């Protein structure tokens, strides 16, 4: 997807990139050193410079499918601690708390579904089924790591001792709202409520500009594609897994989930085309908002990029503090603006793509993704590196 006009992030980012890369390398080395000979083949993969390994690195998921790597449940307590220490290096404090809360929600979801869903394994909703995999070695010039499971996908690339990419970054929550003793738990409360505040702040003419569709699309539109392109429409449930199910009952289950979601949204192919990702973006631009609305738009970007390590989140905050940059940011909404009703929104400019939906399970099952279209998976940096080698 074209990135003209994205502009550079602040120069101060360089120091933070180096510190983050060092912390990641130290944590990854400690984790790998703790593993047995049987565990290492699952945990350690070839370098991103190898085509087969790179193809695997670009396969990312947010469904309860096998993500690739060494699962948390297949590690000792000490190894699990070391694995989570690596995960924490790629997130802010708030981001880490959100990710670990989402992992724990698998226990709640298991009960909510009557303990019946199995997905072809002994336990279908398993907080131990989150996989960590390292591509290359932490002392290599180029290496990467990935952590993912149901509703989580974290993707990081380090080049020449600098963290160059932390996206795609996906966090979901099912249930999105859970009753607690004397309160409620909403892991994605900030991303949902801030967007609704912005939608409510728009006047009638502005909302017409922002409205992508009267009904919410049933999932994020970009899906788990490695690349986002102009004209991409929503990926259906059947395409979001690592291969097809051999069990016909599971195959029917996935088809049924997709049919129910489509029936709930009422979408046809024309409707999906209407909410396709486009360049230039759809929705209302920052230049057409007043000062309070622009404040909410900045806040909305920040609650998504704020899942990243503090130095990177601060860099995005500084970038979007620029009025010129904010003018290019578009906000689009689909569905109802009432709390508890199905809805979807998108934030997009030449650099970022943010999507959020809460539609399934009676609008109590949320997905959110943040992508940096200029550096997803660090593909731009890897392309420059390969070109340098080819001409060197």
Tens place of pLDDT per residue across the chain (392 aa): 544 557 777 655 788 999 999 999 999 999 999 999 999 999 999 999 999 999 999 999 999 999 999 999 999 999 999 999 999 999 999 999 999 999 999 999 999 999 999 999 999 999 999 999 999 999 999 999 999 999 999 999 999 999 999 999 999 999 999 999 999 999 999 999 999 999 999 999 999 999 999 999 999 999 999 999 999 999 999 999 999 888 999 999 999 999 999 999 999 999 999 999 999 999 999 999 999 999 999 999 999 999 999 999 999 999 999 999 999 999 999 999 999 999 999 999 999 999 999 999 999 999 999 999 988 999 999 988 877 776 65
**What pLDDT, on a 0 to 100 scale, did the predictor assign at position 2?**
45
Residue 178 within any structural domain of the chain: yes
How many whole angstroms separate alpha carbon 129 and alpha carbon 283?
A: 38
Nearest to 277 by CA among 207, 366, 350: 350
Count other C-beta atoms under 10 Å from residue 343's C-beta: 25
How many whole angstroms separate alpha carbon 53 and alpha carbon 44?
A: 11
How many whole angstroms separate alpha carbon 187 and alpha carbon 174?
A: 10
Q: How many domains does the chain have?
A: 1
Residue 57 within any structural domain of the chain: yes
Residue 1 within any structural domain of the chain: no
**What pLDDT, on a 0 to 100 scale, did the predictor assign at position 14?**
81
DSSP states of 28-82: HHHHHHT--TTTHHHHEE--TTSHHHHHHHT----SSS--SSEEGGGS-HHHHHH
How many whole angstroms separate alpha carbon 7 and alpha carbon 388?
A: 23
Domain coverage including residue 167: 13-391
**What pLDDT, on a 0 to 100 scale, did the predictor assign at position 3?**
44
Residue 367 within any structural domain of the chain: yes
- With H, G, I as helix, E, B as strand and everything else as coil, classify residue 253: helix
Residue 73 within any structural domain of the chain: yes
């Amino acid at each position: 997807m074209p990135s003209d006009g994205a502009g550079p992030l602040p120069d101060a980012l360089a120091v933070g990139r180096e510190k983050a890369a060092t912390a990641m390398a130290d944590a990854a080395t400690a984790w790998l050193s703790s593993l047995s000979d049987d565990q290492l083949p699952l945990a350690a993969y070839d370098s991103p410079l190898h085509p087969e390994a790179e193809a695997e690195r670009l396969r990312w998921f947010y469904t309860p499918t096998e993500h690739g790597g060494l699962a948390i449940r297949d590690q000792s307590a000490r190894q699990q601690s070391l694995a989570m220490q690596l995960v924490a290096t790629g997130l802010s404090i708030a981001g880490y708390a959100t990710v670990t809360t989402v992992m724990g929600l698998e226990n709640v979801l298991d009960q909510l579904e009557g303990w019946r869903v199995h997905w072809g394994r002994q336990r279908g909703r398993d907080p131990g089924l989150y996989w960590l995999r390292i591509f290359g070695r932490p002392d290599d010039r180029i290496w990467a790591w990935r952590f993912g499971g149901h509703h989580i996908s974290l993707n990081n690339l380090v080049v020449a001792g600098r963290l160059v990419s932390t996206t795609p970054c996906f966090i979901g929550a099912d249930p999105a709202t859970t009753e607690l003793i004397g309160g409620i738990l909403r892991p994605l409360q900030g991303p949902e409520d801030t967007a609704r505040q912005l939608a409510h702040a728009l006047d009638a003419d502005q909302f017409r500009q922002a409205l992508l569709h009267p009904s919410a699309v049933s999932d994020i539109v970009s899906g788990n594609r490695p690349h986002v392109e102009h004209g991409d429409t929503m990926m259906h449930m059947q395409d979001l897994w690592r291969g097809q199910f051999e069990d016909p009952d599971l195959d029917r289950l996935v088809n049924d989930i997709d049919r129910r979601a489509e029936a709930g949204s009422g979408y046809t192919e024309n409707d999906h085309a209407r909410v396709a990702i486009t360049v230039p973006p759809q929705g209302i631009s920052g230049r057409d908002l007043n000062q309070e609305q622009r404040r909410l738009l900045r806040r909305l970007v920040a609650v998504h990029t704020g899942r990243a390590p503090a130095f990177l989140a601060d860099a995005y905050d500084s970038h979007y503090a620029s009025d010129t940059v904010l003018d290019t940011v578009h906000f689009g909404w689909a569905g109802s603006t009432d709390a508890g009703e199905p809805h979807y929104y998108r934030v997009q400019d030449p650099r970022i793509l943010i999507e959020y939906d809460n539609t399934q399970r009676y609008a109590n099952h949320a997905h959110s993704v943040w992508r940096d279209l200029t550096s997803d998976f660090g593909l731009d940096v890897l392309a420059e590196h390969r070109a340098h080698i080819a001409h060197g």
